[in-house]
Amino acid sequence: MTERGDIFETGEIFRERELVRVGHVPDLDRVVGRDEEIESMGSALAPAIRGGPPETTIVYGKTGTGKSLVTRCVTREATRRAAADGNTFAYAYIDCSDYGTEAQASRQMARELHERLGDAVDDRSIPRRGIGAADYRDITWELLTEGDVDAFVVVLDEIDKLDGDALLRSLSRARESGKADTFVGAICISNKIEYRERLGERVDSSLQDNELVFDPYDATQIEAILSRRRDAFAEGVLDDGVIPKTAALAAREHGDARKAIDMLYEAGRLAEQERADHVTEAHVDEAVDRAEINRFQKLVSGQTPHVKHILRALALLTERADTRTFRTAEVYDAYRKVAEQAGTTPLSYDRVQRLLKEQAFLGVTESKHTGGGHGEGSYRVHRLLRSPEIVTRGLDDQ
């Protein structure tokens, strides 16, 4: 019988792996590269920790620029500071990509508030269904009164995915309409700078001009972010070049700190799986490749075998030639060989041409018309938008 080792043994790469998980919210002093944004958000919430009205704020920026992280850190710190001053500040965090309807978001607001207030309010069951958005908001107003909350802020993350602006309108008028004695505000987080243009006039006017824009991180800032999370790993297991390399790669990817953290974690996991003593730059390279392979596989997961034969043919052509672009006829000839080797009957030339156009539309390949040289007509050329190695590995692993 085969001797099996401890299946739960993971080696000694990680010490506190939660520090390099994307959902981890660090202490405020661990947040780097966002001092101005932290101060601006602190100013917007400063009246609230003293029992006054918070300023409703719209936060813009690309994915991975620290919008959600800074917001969660600052609202958590505001809760502590208010309590130290003898005031009650509460907040609810709603990810609108998960709670996209008015009713879902209103229910989550009530549930989050109920959980945060804890023993300050009576235990109650908030129904998952069967009542409307306005009823969930009424529960929220009751909780604010019962918990004697001075100021309440609702964080609406990815608010552009929330249907309509009824919830935001209700929050902006909660005290004015007599629904709550508590001062109520909102922090609206969006990846889309044009979000405000979608708002109704009454809601837009309540926002005043309090907007905050998060720019992408540069390589130096990302390196500092990763360095602050170095203690996720055991002492001495990270090779010197790992963090600088990860930061440089992430900065190239539009300054996305979230991807950088995930890249560092995946590099650590690879080292762990190999039972390695150190995390090396080679582990970072492999982590990047695996992430790229996963993204490619998601793009082609529902495609037919013939589409995959076409992509494999393009990968083979790219590996063997000095150019990265190929005429339709060249792709078709290579595709026929791949299909025949796979034991399938090749599709017609016209059908393959249409499938190539579909892949260009989906962003898997690029396809464009080009003028021929002297004596040639125009023709269409195609190229992969990923390296042929990634495409081949992605197809082999499916």
Known binding residues for ATP: 65-69, 217, 229
Distance CA 113, CA 33 (A): 30
Annotated binding site: 65-69, 217, 229
Distance CA 353, CA 349 (A): 6
Q: Which residues pair with 164 in a beta bridge?
A: none
Q: Which residues pair with 383 in a beta bridge?
A: 366
CA-wise closest residue to 117 among 84, 98, 94, 140: 140
Grouping H, G, I as helix, E, B as strand and the rest as coil, residue 183 is: strand
Grouping H, G, I as helix, E, B as strand and the rest as coil, residue 186 is: strand
Grouping H, G, I as helix, E, B as strand and the rest as coil, residue 67 is: helix
Distance CA 389, CA 304 (A): 20
Sign (positive/negative) of CA torsion 111, 113, 116, 118? negative
Distance CA 248, CA 297 (A): 25
Phi (first) and psi of residue 62, to 5 degrees: -70, 165
User: Residue 260 in contact with residue 246, Cβ under 8 Å?
Assistant: yes
Distance CA 390, CA 386 (A): 7
Q: Which residues pair with 301 in a beta bridge?
A: none
Distances (CA, A) of 82 to 46, 74, 88, 89, 90: 9, 12, 6, 6, 9
Q: What angle do CA 234, 239, 245 make, to 5 degrees?
A: 120
